[in-house]
C-alpha cells in the first residue's frame, strides 16, 4: 500500500475541457448544465474522504448518470481526447509504476475509487481516479463501502507512512514460510487502523505478500547458508538486519521489511535449522 500525491486539477476547468469536444450542441449544453452538481459532488467527496466518511457519499440529484459515464469513456478513457492528458498524468504518479493498492503490480489502468457505475457524478472527478494494477482493479470491480468498517485505504487521502504496522512471522516448515499480519496498535486514528485491516483482507495482500516472500526466500537462501557456514549466526543476523533497514529506509510497511525482520528474529533460521 503506497500513498500518492492528490491531484490538484481545477475541477471546473477539467470538466469544461472534457465536454469541449462532445458531439452535438445539445449534448454539450446538457452536460454543461451539470457543472454545479459535479462541483458539489467533488467538494462533498473531498470532505468525506478526508474524514474517513466516503461510505456516506451519495450522488447529487438531477444528473444523467449514463451521459457522465460516457463522457469519461469517450473523452478521458480514449487516446487523443481532450481529457486524456490527466489520465496520462495520473498514471505517472506511482514511483516505479508500482500499484498503490498492493505495492506489487504495475499500474495499467485508472480505477474509479468509488465506482462510476454507481457514483456517476464522480466519473471525471480527478481525486476519484487512482492508477491501479489490473488485478486490484478487477478484484474490486463495482464494489464500494456501505458502512465505515468496509472502507479500504485511499492512496490520495490516507497517510499510513508514519508507523510500521505490517509484520511477519516465520513458520518453521519445509524451507520456511513467511506469514504476514497487521498490527495497528501504533496507528492513533481508529478509522485509519480499521482501513488498514480491511485493505489487507479485501485486496488479499496476506497471500500476495506470502507468495512474493516465498520467491525472495528461495533467492537469498544460498547466500544466507554460505554466510552461516563461513562465519556464524551473529553475522547472519547482522546481514538480515541490514536488509531490513535498507528496505525500511524506502518504505516502512513493505513486505520485505517484515520478512527480513521475521528472519532475523527466528532462531530456527539463524541457527541454520532451516537449511538442514
Ligand atoms: Zn495492485
How far is 44 from 56, CA to CA, in rounded Å?
A: 10
pLDDT of amino acid 140 = 73
Q: Quick one: cell of 27?
A: 449534448
pLDDT of amino acid 245 = 97
pLDDT of amino acid 179 = 97
Q: How far is the CA of 134 from the centre of ligand 1 (A)?
A: 7
Residues around ligand 1, an ion, CB closer than 5 A: 99, 101-102, 105, 133, 136
pLDDT of amino acid 276 = 83
Q: How far is the CA of 37 from the centre of ligand 1 (A)?
A: 31
Q: How far is the CA of 204 from the centre of ligand 1 (A)?
A: 10
Q: How far is the CA of 132 from the centre of ligand 1 (A)?
A: 6
Q: How far is the CA of 100 from the centre of ligand 1 (A)?
A: 6
Q: How far is the CA of 199 from the centre of ligand 1 (A)?
A: 11
Return the number of other C-beta atoms located less than 10 Å from residue 21's C-beta: 12
Weakly modelled stretches of the chain, pLDDT under 70? none
Q: How far is the CA of 115 from the centre of ligand 1 (A)?
A: 16
Q: Quick one: cell of 62?
A: 438531477
Q: Which residue has the cell 463522457?
A: 71
pLDDT of amino acid 139 = 78
pLDDT of amino acid 142 = 77
What is the torsion angle, in degrees rounded to the nearest 10, for the CA atoms of residue 179, residue 183, residue 189 and residue 194?
Answer: 50
Amino acid at each position: 500500500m503506497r500513498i500518492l500525491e492528490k491531484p490538484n486539477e481545477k475541477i471546473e476547468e477539467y470538466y469544461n475541457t472534457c465536454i469541449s469536444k462532445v458531439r452535438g450542441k445539445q449534448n454539450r449544453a446538457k452536460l454543461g448544465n451539470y457543472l454545479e452538481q459535479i462541483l458539489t459532488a467533488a467538494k462533498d467527496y473531498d470532505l468525506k474522504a478526508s474524514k474517513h466518511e466516503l461510505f456516506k457519499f451519495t450522488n447529487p440529484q438531477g444528473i444523467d448518470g449514463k451521459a457522465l459515464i460516457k463522457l469519461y469513456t469517450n473523452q478521458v478513457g480514449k487516446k487523443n481526447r481532450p481529457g486524456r492528458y490527466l489520465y496520462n498524468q495520473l498514471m505517472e504518479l506511482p514511483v516505479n509504476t508500482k500499484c498503490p493498492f498492493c505495492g506489487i503490480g504495475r499500474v495499467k489502468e485508472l480505477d474509479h475509487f468509488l465506482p462510476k457505475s454507481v457514483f456517476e457524478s464522480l466519473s471525471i472527478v480527478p481525486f476519484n481516479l487512482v492508477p491501479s494494477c489490473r488485478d486490484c482493479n478487477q478484484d474490486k470491480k463495482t464494489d464500494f463501502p456501505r458502512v465505515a468498517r468496509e472502507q479500504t485505504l485511499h492512496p490520495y487521502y490516507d497517510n499510513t507512512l508514519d508507523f510500521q504496522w505490517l509484520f511477519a512471522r516465520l513458520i518453521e516448515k519445509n524451507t520456511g514460510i513467511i506469514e504476514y499480519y497487521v498490527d495497528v496498535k501504533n496507528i492513533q486514528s481508529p478509522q485509519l487502523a480499521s482501513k488498514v485491516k480491511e485493505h489487507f483482507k479485501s485486496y488479499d495482500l496476506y497471500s500476495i505478500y506470502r507468495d512474493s516472500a516465498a520467491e525472495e526466500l528461495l533467492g537469498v537462501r544460498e547466500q544466507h547458508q554460505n554466510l552461516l557456514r563461513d562465519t556464524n549466526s551473529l553475522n547472519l543476523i547482522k546481514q538480515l538486519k541490514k536488509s531490513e533497514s535498507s528496505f525500511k529506509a524506502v518504505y516502512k510497511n513493505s513486505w520485505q521489511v517484515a520478512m527480513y525482520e521475521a528472519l532475523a528474529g527466528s532462531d530456527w533460521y539463524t541457527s541454520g535449522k532451516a537449511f538442514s
